[in-house]
Structures are given as C-alpha cells and as structure tokens.
Amino acid sequence: MLTKLKKQVQTALTSSANVLHNMGLTPNRVSIVGITLSLLAGVVYSQWHINRAFLILAPILMLISGLFDALDGVIARVHGEATIFGAFFDSMLDRYADAIVLCGIIAGGLTNIAWGLAALVGSMMVSYARARAEAAGIKMESVGLAERAERIVLIGFASIISYFWIDALNWSILLLAVLTNFTVLQRANYFHKLTK
C-alpha cells in the first residue's frame, strides 16, 4: 500500500541523497548506517525498562533507519551507482533490520513471545514470497497489506502509544502477526493466479 508512494518519497529525498553522496557516502555505506541504527533500535527496545523514554527513542531510531534505507536506493539511482550486489546487500540488510527490531521487542518483554515469533516469521515470509516470485519473473511490489513500510509505521506508532499504554505494542505485534501472514497468503494467491 505505502509502496505506491515510494517514487514520490524518493523524489523528495533526492537533495538529501545528494548531500550524503557529496560527503563520500556510497549506497552500501548508507545501508550500513541504516542497519546500525536498526541494531541500536533493537537494543533500546530490549532495555526499555531502564527508561520508559526508550519507547520513544527506539521507534525514532527505527524510522531514521528506514529513511537511510530509502536514501541508499536514491543515491544508487541518481548517481549511477546501482549494482546487482548493492541490491542484494540492501535487501539482505533489510531482513536483518526487521528481525533485529522484532527480537528487541520480544527480548524486552513488550509482547507475548508467541505473537512476536509469529510476526517475525510472517515478516520474513512476506519478503521471501516477493523475492521468490520476482526470481520467477513476477512482480510483487505493492501486493498485500503488510509490506515493509506498513510494518515500520505500525511498530513506530504503537511504540509511541506504548509510552502511555504499555500494552499497545503487544496488541500491535499480534495485529502484525496476522497481517504479515495474511500478506503471504495474498502473495501466494496472486502468484498462483498468474502462473496457472
């Protein structure tokens, strides 16, 4: 759903991408900054009991990480630095980023473990379904309810609400578990229809 706005967002980020490129940052280095921020977000989620304000800091780190994830692609496109390895590297780090944040939420006791694991598996499978379908030549971008952008927004919004109502993140992870696994079914159905 939010993927449809991707081109508009990338256009808006061009000036920021130019600044980073002029600082000497390559797309792969920007990807590394993004995964580092996700790692910090995961650690902050796991340690939220030290300071409740971490429930605000963690989603901010996660959202900035998502911004860097968008910027690496813009730099690659605008400055002609797109490579097959770069696309692979970026996609691989995105999966790690998703897993790290969810593991931090689970480790911090912010969600039921079963719900957290179901959301983690669903998130990985959404990405796998797309990768596998596109390897077979079928585009999956914007197919399904819970693509990466939606997942990041849901977790970020729920985290901020959790500062005031701690159970918000727990219930949002359950919703994420349902939506991600439903998205996998949507993608499987879409693939089946196109390959019949």
**C-alpha–C-alpha distance, residues 144 and 52, integer Å:** 34
User: Is the CB of residue 74 less than 8 Å from the CB of residue 99?
Assistant: no
**C-alpha–C-alpha distance, residues 62 and 60, integer Å:** 5
Which member of 72, 94, 98, 167 is catalytic? 94
**C-alpha–C-alpha distance, residues 44 and 105, integer Å:** 9
Instruction: Judge whether 94 counts as a catalytic residue.
Output: yes
- HSE of 184, CA atoms in CB hemisphere, 13 A: 18
Under DSSP, the state recorded for 24 is T
Q: How buried is 184 (Cβ within 10 angstroms: 0-12 exposed, 13-18 middle, 19+ buried)?
A: buried
By annotation, the residues acting in catalysis are 94
